[in-house]
Amino acid sequence: MTNSTETKNAPKMVEKFDLSGIDKPADAMEKMGMTFIAEQEELMTNVSFLNISTHKAIVRSDNKQILGIVGSGYNPTQFNTYFSQFDTIVKSMGLNYSKGVVYDGGRKVILTAEFEKTKLVRIGDECKAEVNWGTAFDGTMGNTGWFGIERLVCSNGMVKMSKDQMFSCKHTKNSQIIIPERMKILLQSERYFKDFMDSAKRLADKQADVMMVNAFITSMFGEKKLNKKTNIKERSTKAKNQINEVRTLIKNGKGNGQGTAWDVLNGYTEWIDWKRSDDDEKRMVSATIGDGYNKKAKAMKSILSLVE
């Protein structure tokens, strides 16, 4: 039984692993130190020692580190079960395991497998497609799978659409049945990649003038708001600073400098992936499956509308 005031969590940290050459999830889990079982323990109050029936602790079986406090209906899907399902996609699509990320000793874990071939947007600017599979034991993310594209010159995560390229299932006793059905969407990744590359090449062939950049900025950050004290439409200091960062990255971001609509998109995605927050975990999770992911999808839709 776990005391509700205990804090056995390790300091926040993000560990990244190169999984090149690994061909099965069990070996990936071993390399990342994720061979434990996520156990459930009851909670009790610190003073009166009463059981807390509404919540429970998820604890590592090996070192008893608390991974999360979750509701009573939560039923952890173990790594060996969840990532073996990922292996089905990896093998059927001929993908290669490439990297893994571990947050706080296993609170959240993500595996990535990538397509072998890259595709060229323009000279010196390639993209590769990948499929990601992640889960968390703290309630911040369910069993989640999503399709992604990485721009190699800057490691930006690119997004064209969001709803049909991702699925998420809660940790419940039925998740093992639900996941195989939902993961079928990821088997269409080759089509997603082709559609994205067609759009990317259109953007790379279109020069971006001042009007296009301004219109894009407005679509992503909204219109200026009326300051009631000055009766002037303006942006907050925070918004101004963010916009200045994006404008700088559009001109001088990694792989940019050719003044195209592709540069406009990549300036924004680089800001989302690498500059938007100083919190590595918050920024990365947001950029891959959260608000940042949705904003990048919106950015692609916006810039494409401006080149039509």
Query: Which regions in the chain score pLDDT beneath 50?
Result: 4-11
Residue of 235, 207, 209 lying closest to 220 (CA atoms): 235
H helical segments located in the chain: 25-32, 79-93, 175-182, 189-204, 210-221, 237-252, 261-270, 280-289, 291-307
Burial label for 281, CB within 10 Å (0-12, 13-18, 19+), is middle
Q: At what angle do helices 291-307 and 280-289 cross, to 10 degrees?
A: 50
pLDDT of the residue at 70 = 95
Give the number of other CB atoms < 10 A from CB of residue 257.
Answer: 11
Residue 110: closest CA among 101, 120, 97, 122: 101
pLDDT at 163: 57
Q: 34: how many CB neighbours lie within 10 A of its CB?
A: 20
The CB density around residue 210, as the number of other CB atoms within 10 Å, is 7
Question: What is the sign, positive or negative, of the torsion defined by CA atoms of 110, 138, 187, 86?
Answer: positive
- CA–CA distance, 129 with 118 (Å, rounded to integer): 7
Q: How far apart are CA 268 and CA 212, in angstroms?
A: 14
pLDDT digits (tens, 9 = 90+) for 104-134: 999 999 999 999 999 999 999 999 999 999 9
Q: What is the model's pTM?
A: 0.84
Which pLDDT score, from 0 to 100, does residue 8 have? 44
Output the pLDDT for position 161.
52
Which residue ranges make up each domain of the chain?
Answer: 10-35+75-196, 205-307
Distance CA 166, CA 209 (A): 34
Neighbours of 212 (CB within 10 A): 17
